[in-house]
Amino acid sequence: MKKILLLGDPVAHSRSPAMQNAALEYLSFAARYEARHTTAAELAATVAALRDDDVLGANVTLPHKEAVLPLLDTIEPEAAQIGAVNTIYKGLEGELVGANTDAPALLRDLAELGFAAQDRQVVVLGASGAARAAIFTLVKAGAAQVLVANRTLERAENLLADLFLALTDEQGLLFNGQLPPALLAFALDDPELDEYVADADLLVNATSLGWHGDETPLTDPVLSPDALVYDMVYRRTPLMRAAEMRGARASDGLGMLLYQGALAFEHWTGQAAPLDVMRRVLRDS
């Protein structure tokens, strides 16, 4: 029996084991997906153990999506541009390859919600690896303005600087030849942030605030009724409730979890992911 691991701190809340094991069982694939609580001090040793013959790969979640990069042999080009990895799989020679399936998963889920980023104004809360994936894919999809707000302003500024270098050529143009959008960084407690949130077409929560109790990155955001609030936390959060009170649409991150997991599944098994099975388990768990 092969193993696939989920590395993170914490991981007990994750629905990925139920989703992935249901998919593996449906296809009679001889592997088991296990959540492995992994601290920062344990990360290097845990990743090294992925080289064992009985391990197919891993998912990586908070807070390790950036820290894991130097521990791998190869990084897929898009994951290298984003600067974050959420999926590890074995190459042809057994090397550890890092991929980012968060970015395409978010874009697919937003499309299913009827949201297109072209010429839209976006606010992303947080500077995590998931935030990096969100900003990268929204810029590539043509957003007119992307603002990142983080508890620590310096981290938000560094994230945008990294992504600007990754997305632009020597002339400062995006690799499709277009000018980059306005990229702005704010601290979460900056009062000016309220104006940008009020004008946003899309507000993305890429922080971990919302997993427990009444934690929220924004207590009572003023939002346009035409806005979409997308919370990567896959439960009904205080931020989502606040958005709906303002007349805005709100969605949790369950679709993103599904699609990133399906892409990862195909890397590990070489088989098409049974999306209907995975979706049903996520809805029921």
Q: Environment class of residue 210 by beta-carbon count within 10 Å: exposed (0-12), middle (13-18) or buried (19+)? A: buried
Which of 2, 65, 90, 140 is the catalytic position? 65
* Helix, strand, coil shares, percent, the chain, to 5: 40, 20, 40
Pairing of strands 55-60, 87-90: antiparallel
Which of 189, 226, 202, 196 lies closest to 139, judged by CA? 202
Query: Does the active-site annotation cover 65?
Result: yes
Question: Side chain identity at 2, as an amino acid letter?
Answer: K
* Contact yes or no for 151/231 (Cβ under 8 A): no
Q: Which residue has the tokens 């508890």?
A: 151
CA–CA gap between residue 192 and residue 141 (Å, rounded): 26
Residue 112 has φ and ψ, to the nearest 5°, of -70, -25
CA–CA gap between residue 75 and residue 97 (Å, rounded): 6
Report cis status (omega within 30 of 0) of the bond before 70. no
Beta strand extents in 135-269 (DSSP E only)? 145-150, 182-187, 202-205, 228-231, 249-251
Q: List the catalytic residues.
A: 65
